[in-house]
Amino acid sequence: MEHPAAHAAAQSAVLAAPYLWLIPAFPLLGSLFNLAFGNRLGKAAVRVVAPGAVLLSFLTGLYAFWSLVRAGTGAVLVNRVYPWIHAGSLQVDVAFSFDPLSGLMVLIVTGVGFLIHVYSTAYMDHDEGYARYFTYLNLFTFAMLLLVLGDNLPLLFVGWEGVGLCSYLLIGFWYENPDNASAGKKAFIVNRVGDAGFLLGLFLLYWSLGDGPQDLSFRSIAGQAGELGPGSVLVTAICLLFLLGATGKSAQIPLYVWLPDAMAGPTPVSALIHAATMVTAGIYMIARMNFLYVLSPEAMLWVAAVGAVTAIFAAAIGLVQNDIKKVLAYSTVSQLGYMFLGLGVGAYGAAIFHVMTHAFFKALLFLGSGSVIHGMGGEQDIRKMGGLKKYMPTTYWTFLVGTVAIAGIPPLSGFFSKDEILFAAFNRFRVLWAVGLFGALLTAFYMTRLLIKTFWGECRADHETQHHIHESPPAMTVPLIVLAVLSVAGGWIGTPWANVLGDFLAPVFNSRHGHHSASLELALMVVSFAVALTGMGLAYFAYVVRPGLTTRLKEQLPFLYQPLLNKLGVDELYDLLIVNPLVAASRWLWSGFDVRGVDGAANGVAAVVERNSAVWRKLQSGNVQHYALSLFAGAVVIVAYYVLA
């Protein structure tokens, strides 16, 4: 188990790497190219440029990674690009830093991102907005890379906002349908609430740091963290505010509500943004700011609690959903909860490990579902699927691998990462360990349910659709296979007996492998394995052995079934408490204040002026003698003044 060491000043060796800026630059250029020339040069150009740009980023990232490894433990690569904000004591630069944490994130973002770009070239082939799609997708990659490579909080926030924007653009990609546009809006607005928390935390942090030039880089904040008063209300407040931002971006309670709706976007978007990359931004941010969180045990408890509760909350809802993407969406929310749990119990490395493995198998599952939807001609309801394994074998086998991985069956990746988190939770808050274990049971159950209903048994689609079911083209299936391999093997760098990843990440978190009881860990691993098998077994029992069981349960326990089906009414609750009052207030402000008040005042002024001038213009009678009279009267006044005074 990792536990934080005493806080020393950063001992990292800082090395210059003047090529780091290329990593975000390639996708930005790709985006601009697609924007300017995409429509003119057609799909043939776009489908090469867009994935190509991401591939170039990946290769540059690999080179940087190799340089980092060669430089030894504790090294950081930095690329200061140009001075950005220089205002008094605030001296922020555009600078990129590449340490083990950001390096890993870069590889995940560009690697998985590349696979998804390739997948999209086939998936979006019939779409009119082909160039626009890839413009947004490249732009998103650029923003995400800014986020993970940013050397300081403001630059991270720029990327943070950027991914939020691209998320909105891509969710509402098929905007002609107003529901899609609404989903995009919802994502953006809910994210904004989180962003407000992030900004407040940032301001509070800046305000509480000492006088003297601040560049708000992570190294410099880490160095000054001691001044903030460990355990103080101030530090806790800052951490909680950043947590609020993270719950928005990473879809935790209370700001998770946008993610299920975000399934309105194209499936590769769901895979990239809402499974592998953007939603991990909150986790990355908290991991990055670990030096702050270790100062506030209360805040960490909150992080862990939010994560654990969200994990089972979302898993429960996912249990009964009938849309293949919705199940995966709630599953994502739930798995993100596990990552938060990991962060909250101090197992930062474990949380990042789970980010990586989750990126592999969740992207795989989403892309697989995309393949299914593509083959089924757009159908997403699993009640109308079934028996697809004989029509779409590659999709089926890769989906199976993903399901087993997420359920947490060794030796696949999901097992190792989830187990590491659960072990850390066991040593800190046993209650949360139990909650996490229950969540694992639910996860195994609902994923197996999804697999069975989609691929096994008799096909429940109508004849017309059945006729057209086909396996997807290689551009779609090859990424599936790659991700499946990664889902199997990806966990092997983080096994408890040879935790290569943990050691690699340790300098970032100022932690080291503590001594722990090997037998305890082994015992808990067995428990996790058993729980996963139980979950899968129960699903097998309920859907294959006794097919009518679930229908009877639904009838006999409607008080359990209906609320879960209705997502536990959270959206409706928010509507009631927040949205409707705000809309009503806006409407009142508009009609009462803007229309009557402001417009009334403006029109009123005009009316007063008009009436006033209507009186005064009578002076212009056109009669010369009146004018002569006024002249003469003036002359009389002047004469009187001079003579009498």
Partner 1 sequence: MIGTNAILALAVVLFGIGALGVMIRRNVIVIFMCIELMLNAANLAFVAFARALHSMDGQVIVFFVMTVAAAEAAVGLAIIIALFRNRETIDVGELNLMRW
Partner 2 sequence: MNAAVFSLLAILIVALAVGVVLNRNPVRSAMCLVGTLFLLAVMFVFLDAHLVAVLQIVVYTGAIMVLFLFVIMLLNLQTEAAEQSPAPMRALVGVCGFAFMGILGGALLVADGTDKFSAPVPAGFGTSVAVSERLFTHFLLPFEITSLLLLVAIVGAVVVAKKKLE
- Under the rule (CB under 8 A), what is the footprint of partner 2? 625-626, 629, 632-633, 635-636, 639-640, 643-644
Radius of gyration of the chain (CA): 30
Query: CB of 610: closest distance to partner 2 in angstroms?
Result: 26
The least CB distance from residue 645 to partner 2, in Å, is 11
Cβ-based neighbours of 428, under 8 Å, separated by 6 or more: 304, 345, 346
Indicate the residue among 83 and 634 with the shorter CB distance to partner 2: 634
Which of 199-213 are b and which e, b meaning 16 or more Cβ less than 10 Å from the residue's Cβ? ebbbebbbebbeeee
Distances 487 to 324, 400, 448, 480, 554 between C-alpha atoms, Å:
20, 11, 17, 10, 34
Which of partner 2, partner 1, none does 644 bind, CB closer than 5 to 8 A by kind? partner 2
Site string for partner 1, 543-572 (x = CB under 8 A): ------------------------------
User: Interface with partner 1 by CB under 8 A: which range of 72-80, 172-180, 513-521, 613-621?
Assistant: 613-621
233 binds, among partner 1, partner 2, none (CB under 5 to 8 A by kind): none
Least CB distance to partner 1 at residue 624 (A): 6
Contact 382, 321 (CB under 8 A): no
If we measure between CA atoms, which residue out of 330, 540, 548 comes closest to residue 445?
540
Cis-peptide, bond into residue 266, ω within 30° of zero: no
Burial of 33 from C-beta contacts in 10 A (0-12 / 13-18 / 19+): buried
HEC profile for 505-532? Answer: HHHHHCEEECCCCHHHHHHHHHHHHHHH
Q: Which is nearer to partner 1, 577 or 635 (CB)?
A: 635
* Minimum distance, C-beta of residue 632 to partner 2, in the bound complex (Å): 6
617 is in the binding site of which of partner 1, partner 2, none (Cβ under 5 to 8 A by kind)? partner 1
Count helices and strands (H / E) in the chain. 27, 5
Half-sphere exposure of 585 (CA within 13 A, CB side): 6
Residue 2: in which H helix or E strand, if any? strand 2-4
Map residue 579 onto helix, strand or coil.
helix
3-class secondary structure for 210-250?
CCCCECCEHHHHHHHHHHHCCCCHHHHHHHHHHHHHHHHHC
Q: Is 617 in the site for partner 1 (CB under 8 A)?
A: yes
Could you give the count of Cα atoms lying within 13 Å of 16 in the half-sphere of its Cβ? 3
Q: Which does 11 bind (CB under 5 to 8 A by kind): partner 1, partner 2, none?
A: none
CA 494-497-498 angle, 5° bins: 50
Q: Which of partner 1, partner 2, none interacts with 624 (beta carbon under 5 to 8 A by kind)? A: partner 1
> Does residue 620 touch partner 1 according to CB under 8 A?
yes
Residue 15, H or E segment: strand 13-16
- Closer to partner 1 by CB, 6 or 619: give it: 619
Q: Which does 545 bind (CB under 5 to 8 A by kind): partner 1, partner 2, none?
A: none
Q: Considering beta carbons, is residue 612 or 621 the nearer one to partner 1?
A: 621
Query: In this complex, which beta carbon is closest to partner 1, that of residue 596 or of residue 626?
Result: 626
Q: Which two tokens stand for residue 83?
A: 């001075």
Residue from 621, 634, 637, 638 in contact with partner 1 (CB under 8 A): 621
Comparing CB distances to partner 2, the nearer of 69 and 638 is 638
β-strands 90-98, 75-87: how paired? Answer: antiparallel
The one-letter code for the residue type at 249 is: K
CB atoms inside a 10 Å sphere around CB 272: 30
Candidate ranges 40-48, 106-114, 316-324, 616-624; the one touching partner 1 (CB under 8 A): 616-624
Q: Among partner 1, partner 2, none, what binds residue 640 when CB lies within 5 to 8 Å by partner kind?
A: partner 2
4 cis-preceded (ω within 30 degrees of 0): no
User: Taking Cα atoms as reference points, which of 363, 469, 403 lies closest to residue 119?
Assistant: 363
- Site size with partner 1, rule: CB under 8 A: 11
Q: Which amino acid is at 427?
A: N
304 close to 283: Cβ distance less than 8 angstroms = no
The binder of 582, among partner 1, partner 2, none, by C-beta within 5 to 8 A per type, is none
By beta-carbon proximity to partner 1, the closer residue of 497 and 616 is 616
- Per rule CB under 8 A, is residue 611 in the interface with partner 1? no
From residue 565 to residue 604, the character string flagging contacts with partner 1 as x (rule: CB under 8 A) and all else as - is: ----------------------------------------
Least distance between partner 1 and beta carbon 35 (Å): 58
DSSP 41-108: HHHHHHHHHHHHHHHHHHHHHHHHHHHHHHH-TTEEEEEEEEEEEEETTEEEEEEEEE-HHHHHHHHH
Q: Which does 618 bind (CB under 5 to 8 A by kind): partner 1, partner 2, none?
A: partner 1
Which pair of tokens denotes residue 88?
């008094």
Least distance from partner 1 to the Cβ atom of residue 586, Å: 45
Report the nearest approach of partner 2 to the CB of residue 616 (Å).
Answer: 18
Nearer to partner 1, 8 or 614 (CB): 614
The whole-angstrom separation of Cα 176 and Cα 129 is 12
Q: Which is nearer to partner 1, 624 or 645 (CB)?
A: 624
Nearer to partner 1, 203 or 627 (CB): 627
Closer residue to partner 2 in complex, CB, 576/635:
635
Residues 622-641 that bind partner 1 (CB under 8 A): 622-625, 628-629, 632
- The smaller minimum CB distance to partner 1, of residues 126 and 618, is found at 618
Nearer to partner 2, 615 or 643 (CB): 643
Residue 619 CB, nearest approach to partner 2 (Å): 14
Residue 621 interacts with, from partner 2, partner 1, none (CB under 5-8 Å by kind): partner 1
Q: Minimum Å distance from CB 643 to partner 2?
A: 5
The least distance separating partner 1 from the CB of residue 619, rounded to whole angstroms, comes to 8
Where on the chain is the footprint of partner 1 (CB under 8 A)? 617-618, 620-625, 628-629, 632
